[in-house]
Amino acid sequence: MTEPLPVARRRPARRARILVVAGAVTAVVAVAMASAGVGRGTTRGEEQDRLPPATAVVSRGDLADLRTVRGVLAFGEPTAVVGRLPGTVTQLAPVGSEVRRGGALFFVDDRPVVLFYGPRPMWRELGVGSRGRDVRQVEENLVALGYDGITVDDRYTAGTARAVRRWQEAGGMARTGRISTGQLLFTAGPVRVADHRARLGDPSTGPVVGVTGTARLVSAQLPAADERLAVVGAKVTVVLPDDRPVTGTVAEVRAGTGGQNGQGAGPGLTVLVRVLDQQRVASLDRTDVQLQFVIAQRRAVLTVPVTALLALAEGGYGVELVEGGETRIVPVKVGMFANGRVEVEGPALAEGVRVGVPA
């Protein structure tokens, strides 16, 4: 994004006169050299007077204009798991534990309620003769757990029943070859037990546990005007409390409020960002962080501090090039501004040269 041009610094009046009356100065210098002799050297004080008070290096790199918002790093809001297998809660997975495919979230009458992966809920009892996408989903999970010898399709066959009996035996369940309603719980992937909503001995047909995903997410609020920044899959920098940056991607965008973390009125967006390297945030939960969205970016460009810009008498901008003990003003074309630096172009510029800046 190209920002409005700043009011560039001007060199002291001595430098301004050099730009405006360059011809007159050249004539005076020629006469002085003829009178005093060309071979007379300059004193150290005169040389220092010609130089700017400080210099900066022209560098090549990426320039990014960022939008920074506050966010909270956490596992997200828990979702209630409601038991559908009638009976009594006899065991619960510990709070904070992760449950993966084939693991038990809780036990009803000492029978495990087992986690499988898939988008469809368990809505009926399954046995030989059952047909449908829910049958395919069960067979896919059985194969993933190593119970092969079955054809993954929409039909619950005798082969499916044999695989189910082997799975039931390994899990300490009755070997019926049928799957009861409520014996399986389907989720998109592994879950983390966030809380217990039932106690041992409670009826099992209400909320039993609360679960979240296993990945820590950053939740932040954006005003509706910044919708273009919140694109699912886009990379975002997450700045941790110790100023360490980690990379994340936008995982979900949904309607929310326009204020920071829900503060303030007006329509907006709730953005969820997934941290890619979860080990970098393994010790953090419910932690305030910052999200940096890229508004605009220029790659591998020459940049100088904004304070290096000079307003030229003939219009436009230049920089004061410092080479050894000499300086000269060279015009530049300016581009994007970000983080106190500005993109510059010019035939006299190259990576590593020095330009004048204020002290």
pLDDT (tens digit, 9 = 90+) per residue, 19-31? 332 333 233 223 3
86 CB contacts (<8 Å, ≥6 apart)? 108, 182, 204, 205
**CB-hemisphere CA count at 13 Å for 13?**
0
- Give tens-digit pLDDT for 249-259: 999 999 876 55
- pLDDT score for 155: 98
- pLDDT score for 338: 92
CA distance 177 to 165: 5
13-62+299-357 CATH fold: 2.40.420
The amino acid occupying position 282 is A
Low-confidence ranges of the chain (pLDDT < 70): 1-49, 257-266
CA distance 213 to 189: 8
| Domain segments of the chain as ranges | 13-62+299-357, 91-212, 215-284
Chain position carrying tokens 């050297």:
41
**How much is the pTM?**
0.67
Yes or no: say if 115 and 139 are a contact pair by the CB < 8 Å rule. Answer: no
- pLDDT score for 40: 35
Q: Between the CA of residue 266 and those of 201, 228, 262, what are the distances in Å?
A: 46, 18, 10
Strand partners, 73: 218, 287
- pLDDT score for 20: 33
- pLDDT score for 11: 52
283 CB contacts (<8 Å, ≥6 apart)? none
- pLDDT score for 271: 95
Rounded to the nearest angstrom, the gap between the alpha carbon of residue 317 and the centroid of all alpha carbons in its chain is: 36
CA distance 225 to 194: 34
Q: Average pLDDT over the chain, rounded to whole?
A: 86
The four Cα atoms 333, 334, 335, 337 give a dihedral, to 10 degrees, of 170
What is the homologous superfamily of the domain 91-212 according to CATH? PGBD-like superfamily/PGBD (1.10.101.10)
Q: Between the CA of residue 177 and those of 138, 194, 242, 243, what are the distances in Å?
A: 13, 32, 54, 55
- pLDDT score for 210: 98
Rounded to the nearest angstrom, the gap between the alpha carbon of residue 219 and the centroid of all alpha carbons in its chain is: 11
Q: What is the residue-wise DSSP string for 19-72?
A: HHSHHHHHHHHHHHHHHH-TTPPPPHHHHHHHS-SEEEE-EEEEEEEEEEEEEE
CA-only gyration radius of the chain, Å: 34
